């Protein structure tokens, strides 16, 4: 028929014919012609289909075997009476043309994916020549599954401070590409004095607390009359005496501090502790700690005899670590989770701005604030207790990461520590110090809080040495190595032992007693009249002799006066013989300084000679006997002509 449905466009087909244009036989028919199609005979197996051309019963396309259940090579997905479909594996991306008979998945080469291997796999780009993206994991943003991918041009997805096709370069004014950094790179800080920096070559080292500190508590009954204090403190420091004034629990910024930063401490307490106590870290942890930026402060606490915890709501009001730095700059670190009920607790605080808060307003700080704080760390307080009734707490394993240079070291790199290209007037890794020929100037303005970086750390000014030196102390500005025999904070005067006026002439050596042998701090010369101001130990109009308590031959070419240094416990006075330096010893005491006893096995103690105790005497006797036997029974190897096993 030449007619079709007016709405669908479907032609009116003859018997056994189908299709929108009536151009093929219906299933179960064959022999398409102008007369339509003929009905197929019934096949012996329901799996067979009728050949649309011949009418013969046969397996569906690409299938074979019993009941037509198998697919021929390079086909897959056998469907009843429909057969299998071709694998159609991509030539560029697949290994061979075969595929999985059930799923149709082709065998893909590395870097290809998809059923037909006609796509680039994650981490590859550039179909049909898929190649690795090569994304630098330090600077790239990973997919949810942790892998790294790129677009069709090979561009990886970079972190905010990173660029490059593979995200392997830091943007301008940033440095230190590192996986741990969520931004990839760190902004150059350089104390605001440069924008040009690079990752330093430092590796992580550690500042350590030698040994441990022990805080012990003895709970005592309080007398009715004792209302003025809650604790009695005794500091046990090796080689020092207890100082009651220093042996008090002091409070700073609402923190109760365990006395001293070294040694063991014993506390007699009348009641349980309502608030935590804090250990103070010793001086080696203080000062300029800018090379600790990004590192860890670690410590371990061992608590003995504790049964009652400080409530978490109360403990949360106190930081785990507190840094005291410049004036009015105090930083707090709070841990995410407080762990109770453990005798041994290990704590870590990373020195990164995202983890610290300003003590006074509770706000998170910036990198600038943390770096300024680290430039001058004055105190570090670490929380030592989280219980109310402990008997003993031991602070141990205290370490602070610090960047150090280790030649040839590539591992354990201290990422985050910058090396700035500083202007001439500044020095230090981060331009935090004055450069050569400069000093730190910090103006003190009354009733004004610090606002700028310079207000906190000071700015660099040239040394003012009146043109007589280019060096000065970097903190005080006092000039060093003044030329032309000058001295003073600004090289404004004649140096010690010289006279004159450097502003109107020269500085000459004092003739005390001679210009080439000068024992004077200063002098006044008017014509032939000389008045000398002698150095300690010298006397006479021209400083030509030694005072009492000194001895020597100042009149000789290389002679000088030296301190007698008599032992006060063994000598009759501080004076000695003016030429030999022999002190005047008490009876039974000998030695140039009167510091030895004439009688063996005695020592000078308490202004007289005392015998050694029995134990020491026995040791000395044994040592003397061993020495005698060695000298009697052995011969030095040199005396036998045997060469010594050391380099002479």
How far apart CA 110 and CA 105 sit, in angstroms, is: 15
- 349-374 pLDDT tens trace: 999 999 999 999 999 999 999 999 99
Instruction: Say if residue 143 is in the same domain as residue 275.
Output: no
Beta-carbon contacts of 80 under 8 Å, excluding residues fewer than 6 positions away, are 47
Give the DSSP H or E segment for 400: strand 392-404
What's the pLDDT tens digit per position in 192-242? 999 999 999 999 999 999 989 999 988 876 655 544 444 545 444 433 444
pLDDT in tens, 386-414: 999 899 999 999 999 999 988 877 778 89
Give residues with Cβ within 8 angstroms of 150, minimum separation 6.
123, 125, 133, 135, 156, 157, 165
Task: Among 377, 404, 431, identify where a domain stops.
Answer: 404
User: What Å distances lie between residue 149 and 70, 120, 139, 559, CA to CA?
Assistant: 39, 10, 12, 82
pTM: 0.73
At 629 the pLDDT is 67
Range of the domain at 584: 564-648
Angstrom distance (rounded) from CA 602 to CA 589: 10
| Cβ proximity of 13 and 19 under 8 Å | yes
Residue 1 has a pLDDT of: 57
Whether 150 and 224 share a structural domain: no
3-state helix/strand/coil string of 16-72:
CEECCCCCEECCCEEEEECCEEEECCCCCCCCCEECCCCCCEECCCCEECHHHCEEC
pLDDT band at 620 (very low <50, low <70, confident <90, very high): low
- Contact (CB, 8 A) for 349 and 333: yes
The CA angle 123-126-132, to the nearest 5 degrees, is: 35
Torsions phi, psi of 589, nearest 5? -120, 145
* pLDDT score, position 173: 95
In a domain, 287, yes or no: yes
**8 Å CB contact between 569 and 604:** yes
| Within-domain flag for 557 | no
Q: pLDDT averaged over the chain?
A: 89
DSSP character at residue 191: G
- DSSP secondary structure letter of residue 633: H
| Per-residue pLDDT at 432 exceeds 90 | yes
- For the segment 95-107, what is each residue's pLDDT rounded down to a tens digit? 999 999 999 999 9
Distance CA 65, CA 76 (A): 14
131-136: average pLDDT:
96
Determine the 3-state secondary structure of 374 from DSSP.
Answer: helix
b/e map of 317-333 (b: 16 or more CB within 10 Å)? ebbbbbbbbbeebbbbb
How many other C-beta atoms can be found within 10 angstroms of the C-beta atom of residue 160?
13
Over residues 454-507, the pLDDT tens digits come to 999 999 999 999 999 999 999 999 999 999 999 999 999 999 999 999 999 999
Same domain, 259 and 392: yes
At 208 the three-state DSSP class reads: strand
Give the range among 58-62, 267-271, 327-331, 377-381 with minimum mean pLDDT. 267-271
The closest alpha carbon to 116, from 77, 95, 89, 84, belongs to 89
pLDDT band at residue 615 using 50, 70 and 90 as cut-offs: low
Question: Would you say residue 349 lies in a domain?
Answer: yes
Q: Per-residue pLDDT for 2 more than 80?
A: no
- Residue 640 is classified by DSSP as G
Q: Is the dihedral of CA 126, 132, 137, 139 positive or negative?
A: negative
pLDDT attached to residue 224: 52
State whether 585 and 627 are in the same domain. yes
Summarize pLDDT for 109-125 with one digit per residue, the tens. 999 999 999 999 999 99
In the prediction, which pLDDT does 635 show?
52
CA distance 129 to 141: 24
Determine how β-strand 213-219 pairs with β-strand 264-269. parallel
| Distance between CA atoms of residues 450 and 439, nearest Å | 19
How many folded domains does the chain comprise? 3
pLDDT digits (tens, 9 = 90+) for 559-591: 999 999 999 999 999 999 999 999 999 999 999
- Flag whether pLDDT at 83 surpasses 90: yes
- Among 388, 404, 420, identify where a domain stops: 404
- pLDDT value at residue 285: 97
Helix (H) or strand (E) holding 562: strand 561-563
User: What is the Cα–Cα distance from 619 to 407, expressed in whole angstroms?
Assistant: 47
162 and 213 co-located in one domain: no
The per-residue b/e assignment along 221-236, b for 16 or more CB within 10 angstroms, e otherwise, is eeeeeeeeeebbbebe
Please, is 354 exposed, middle or buried when counting C-beta atoms within 10 Å of its C-beta (0-12, 13-18, 19+)? Answer: exposed
With beta carbons less than 8 A apart as the criterion, state whether 304 and 390 touch: yes
Instruction: Give domain status of residue 396, yes or no.
Output: yes
Do residues 387 and 163 touch, judged by C-beta distance below 8 A? Answer: no
pLDDT for 8 beyond 90:
no
Strands 106-108 and 94-99: antiparallel
CB distance 253 to 260 below 8 Å: no
Q: Supply the CATH number for residue 139's domain.
A: 2.170.300.10
Q: Which of 404, 422, 441 is the last residue of a domain?
A: 404
**Alpha-carbon distance values, 447 to 325, 450, 458 (Å):** 19, 10, 17
Within-domain flag for 380 = yes
pLDDT bucket at 266, cuts 50 / 70 / 90? confident
DSSP 123-178: TEESTTS-EE----TTTBPPPTTS---B-TT--B-B-TTEESTTS-EEPTTEE---
Query: Cα–Cα distances in Å, from 626 out to 93, 613, 619, 623?
Result: 87, 20, 11, 5
Hey, what are 422's tokens? Answer: 């500083």
256 and 390 fall within a common domain: yes
Cβ atoms of 11 and 1 closer than 8 Å: yes
Statement to judge: residues 221 and 322 lie in one domain: yes
Q: Would you say 422 and 193 are in contact if contact means Cβ atoms under 8 Å apart?
A: yes
pLDDT band per the 50, 70, 90 thresholds, residue 605: confident
Quick: pLDDT tens for 299-341: 999 999 888 999 999 999 999 999 999 877 999 999 998 888 7
Do 231 and 320 fall within a single domain? yes
CATH number at residue 636: 2.10.25.10
Do 211 and 158 belong together in one domain?
A: no
State the Cα–Cα distance between residues 123 and 418, nearest whole angstrom.
32
Do 348 and 376 have their domain in common? yes
Tallying the residues shown for the chain, one arrives at 648
Same domain, 183 and 275: no
Do 330 and 359 meet the contact criterion of CB atoms below 8 Å apart? yes
| Phi and psi angles of residue 271, each rounded to the nearest 5 degrees, phi first | -150, 170
Instruction: Determine the Cα–Cα distance for residues 342 and 344; give it in Å rounded to an integer.
Output: 5
DSSP secondary structure, 324-369, as one string: E-STT-EEEE--SS---S-SEEEEEEE--GGGEEETTT-PBPPHHH
Query: Does residue 375 share a domain with residue 267?
Result: yes
Residue of higher predicted confidence among 580 and 268:
580
What's CA 215's distance to the chain center, in Å?
A: 28
Give the pLDDT confidence score for residue 270 in this predicted structure: 77
Task: Indicate whether 648 pLDDT > 50.
Answer: no
């Amino acid at each position: 028929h030449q007619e079709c449905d007016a709405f669908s466009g479907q032609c009116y087909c003859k018997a056994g014919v189908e299709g929108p244009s009536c151009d093929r036989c219906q299933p179960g028919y064959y022999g398409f012609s102008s007369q339509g199609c003929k009905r197929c005979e019934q096949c012996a197996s329901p799996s067979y289909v009728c050949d649309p051309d011949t009418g013969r019963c046969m397996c569906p396309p690409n299938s074979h075997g019993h009941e037509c259940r198998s697919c021929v090579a390079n086909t897959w997905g056998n469907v009843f009476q429909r057969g299998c479909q071709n694998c159609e594996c991509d030539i560029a991306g697949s290994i061979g043309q075969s595929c999985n008979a059930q799923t149709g998945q082709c065998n893909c080469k590395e870097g290809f994916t998809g059923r037909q291997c006609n796509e680039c796999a994650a981490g590859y780009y550039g179909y049909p020549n898929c190649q690795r993206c090569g994304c630098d994991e330090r600077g790239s943003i990973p997919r949810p599954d942790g892998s790294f991918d790129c677009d069709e041009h090979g561009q990886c997805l970079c972190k905010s401070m990173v660029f490059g096709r593979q995200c392997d370069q830091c943007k301008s004014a940033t440095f230190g590409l590192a996986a741990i950094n969520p931004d990839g790179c760190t902004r150059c800080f350089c104390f605001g004095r440069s924008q040009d920096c690079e990752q330093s070559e430092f590796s992580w080292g550690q500042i350590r607390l030698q040994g441990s500190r022990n805080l012990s508590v003895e709970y005592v009954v309080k007398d009715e009359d004792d209302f003025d204090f809650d604790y009695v403190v005794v500091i046990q420091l090796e080689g020092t005496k207890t100082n009651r004034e220093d042996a008090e629990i002091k409070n700073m910024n609402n923190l109760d501090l365990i006395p001293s930063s070294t040694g063991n401490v014993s506390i007699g307490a009348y009641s349980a502790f309502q608030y935590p106590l804090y250990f103070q870290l010793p001086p080696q942890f203080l000062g300029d700690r800018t090379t600790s930026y990004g590192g860890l402060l670690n410590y371990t606490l061992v608590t003995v005899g504790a049964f009652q915890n400080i409530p978490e709501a109360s403990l949360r009001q106190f930081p785990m670590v507190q840094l005291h730095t410049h004036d009015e700059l105090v930083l707090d670190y709070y841990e995410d989770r407080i762990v109770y009920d453990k005798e041994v607790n290990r704590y870590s605080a990373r020195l990164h701005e995202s983890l610290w808060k300003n003590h006074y307003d509770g706000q998170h700080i910036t990198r600038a604030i943390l770096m300024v704080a680290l430039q001058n760390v004055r105190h570090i307080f670490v929380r030592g207790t989280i219980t109310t009734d402990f008997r003993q707490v031991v602070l141990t394993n205290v370490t602070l990461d610090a960047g150090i240079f280790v030649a040839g070291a590539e591992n354990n790199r201290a990422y985050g520590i910058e090396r700035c290209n500083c202007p001439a007037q500044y020095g230090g890794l981060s331009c935090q110090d004055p450069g050569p020929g400069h000093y730190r100037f910090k103006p003190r303005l009354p009733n004004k809080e610090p606002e700028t970086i310079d207000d906190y750390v000071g700015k660099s000014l040239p040394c003012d040495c009146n043109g007589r030196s280019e060096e000065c102390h970097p903190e005080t500005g006092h000039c060093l190595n003044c030329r032309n025999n000058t001295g003073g904070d600004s090289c404004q005067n004649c140096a010690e032992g010289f006279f004159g006026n450097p502003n109107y002439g020269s500085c000459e050596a004092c003739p005390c007693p001679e210009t080439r042998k000068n024992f004077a701090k200063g002098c006044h010369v008017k014509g032939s009249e000389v008045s000398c101001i002698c150095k300690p130990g010298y006397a006479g109009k021209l400083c030509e002799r030694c005072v009492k308590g000194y001895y020597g031959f100042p009149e000789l070419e290389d002679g000088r006066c030296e301190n007698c240094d008599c032992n006060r416990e063994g000598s009759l006075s501080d004076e000695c013989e003016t030429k030999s330096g022999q002190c005047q010893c008490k009876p039974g005491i000998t030695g140039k300084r009167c510091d030895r006893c004439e009688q063996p096995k005695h020592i000078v103690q308490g202004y007289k000679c005392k015998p050694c105790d029995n134990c020491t005497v026995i040791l000395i006797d044994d040592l003397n006997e061993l020495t005698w036997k060695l000298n009697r029974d052995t011969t030095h190897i040199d005396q036998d002509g045997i060469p010594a096993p050391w380099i002479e």
